[in-house]
Amino acid sequence: MKKWLVLALACMCVGSALACAEEVDAYTSASTTKVTLSGEELSAAGALLAANGSDLATLAQTKEEGYTAPDGTNAQILSVNPDGSVGLSTISEWKYVQGEDGKDQVIVELTYGQNALNLSEENARGSLLVMLDGVGYLVHLDVVESDEQVYTDEAYNAGEFDAHYSGAADQLSSYTITCDVLSIETSNLLMF
C-alpha cells in the first residue's frame, strides 16, 4: 500500500512539474527536417513569398481597365480549432508584406468558417504553408488585426468582396486578417 501511495505522489509531482513547464511555440521545434530561417535567408524567403502572393483585389478592382491579376500561389492557412484539432483551409487570397523595419506581415482574406473564426481575434496564432519549387515555407503568424465585412446584397453587387469570395449563396461574412510574422521555417519534405 505504501508503494502505491509513493508511486501516486511521484506521478502527481511529475505531472505538476510538467504543467508548470514553459510553453513553446511550434517554431521552436527540434525537428531535423525543418530549418528556422534568419538573416539573409529570412530576407530572401520574405522576398520570394512577397512575389508569389495575391494582391487581395476586390471583384470591382479586377474589372478596372488595365488590371492584371498576379500569378499568385495557393497556400494553406492553419489554426487551432476549439476542440484542439488543426483547422486547415486552402486559400488563394494572401499577401506577404516585407516591412522596412524588418517586421514582416501576412494579410489573408477568409470567408466565414472555423479558420476565419479561429484567427479573427487579436493575438490568435496560426501558420501559413506555401510550397514553392519543392520547398515548404511554414510562416508562423500572430494576428494583430481582423476586419469583418458583413454580407449585404449591395456590397456584393458592387463587387466589394475579394475576387475569390465564395460565400454569397449563404450570405457569409468575409474577414481581412493582418498578422505579424513570428518566424519562417523551411522543409524539403512534403507537408500536406
Q: Name the residue among 58, 187, 69 with its Cα closest to residue 130.
A: 187
The stretch 45-73 carries a mean pLDDT of 94
CATH number of the structural domain 32-187: 2.30.110
Say yes or no to pLDDT of 19 above 70. Answer: no
Question: What is this structure's pTM?
Answer: 0.81
Q: Are 177 and 107 in contact (CB under 8 A)?
A: yes
- Higher pLDDT, residue 24 or 67: 67
pLDDT digits (tens, 9 = 90+) for 98-126: 998 879 999 999 999 999 999 999 999 99
Among 29-43, 111-125, 161-175, the range scoring the smallest mean pLDDT is 29-43
The stretch 56-60 carries a mean pLDDT of 94
User: What is the rounded average pLDDT for all residues in the chain?
Assistant: 85
Among 5-9, 11-15, 17-21, 67-71, the range scoring the smallest mean pLDDT is 5-9
Q: Name the residue among 91, 104, 184 with its Cα closest to residue 144.
A: 104
Which neighbouring-strand residues pair with 75?
A: 91
The stretch 154-173 carries a mean pLDDT of 95
The stretch 146-171 carries a mean pLDDT of 96
Say yes or no to pLDDT of 135 above 80. Answer: yes
Taking the CA of residue 9 as centre, how many other CA atoms within 13 Å lie in the half-sphere pointing to its CB? 6
How far is residue 96's CA from residue 159's CA, in Å, rounded to a whole number?
23
Strands 34-36 and 75-80: unpaired
How far is residue 44's CA from residue 61's CA, in Å, rounded to a whole number?
30
**pLDDT for residue 10:** 36
**pLDDT for residue 27:** 52
